[in-house]
Amino acid sequence: MDDVIIARALHVLAVVIWIGGVAVVAMVVLPALRRGDLGSNRLQVFEAIERRFAWHARIATVIVGLTGFYMTQRLDLWDRFRSGEFWWMHAMVCVWLLFTLLLFVAEPLVLHRRFHARALAAPDAAFAWLQRAHWLLLALSLITVLGAVAGSQGLSLP
């Protein structure tokens, strides 16, 4: 079962890089940008940070998905998706799907352009919206992490 142990280690490592990055953006970068602590050109700074982080997040998302489905197949855990008791398995797949769509489809095709235009027209409102969106994604991710760690150790969660 060494392969499953390695898959689990890579799964958690990629989750840490990805969700940790979302936490830094939501808790540190966006509040600092909104207060003007990182200079007056908020849009330029945000896009420079986001351009770099998006690739880390994309690679991490792929690793999380591959290792997650690998473990599900190797341990034959598909039945869990039929039971509400394993809500955290559903949550992992939902969070993964949401970010995959955001990072690979919505952001490059629509969101980037739309946010750029909104931030030029009404920067305060655009950055306030962006921060709310990041907090929502972070909250969903953290609930999923808590559920997955506790649930995979056998704790029965509501």
Contacts with ligand HEM by CB under 6 A lie at 8, 11-12, 15, 19, 64-65, 68-69, 71-72, 77, 92-93, 95-96, 141, 144-145, 148-149, 152
Q: Which is nearer to ligand HEM, 8 or 34 (CB)?
A: 8
Instruction: Please name the residue that has the structure tokens 């207060």.
Output: 35
d(CA 148, CA 142) in angstroms, rounded, equals 10
Give min distance, CB of 95 to ligand HEM, in A. Answer: 4
Residue number, nearest CB to ligand HEM: 68
- DSSP letter at 154? T
Q: What is the 3-state secondary structure (H, E, C) of 61-86?
A: HHHHHHHHHHHHHHCCCHHHHHCHHH
Number of neighbours of residue 104 by Cβ within 10 angstroms: 14
CB of 116 to ligand HEM, least distance (A): 28
Least distance CB 150 / ligand HEM (angstroms): 8
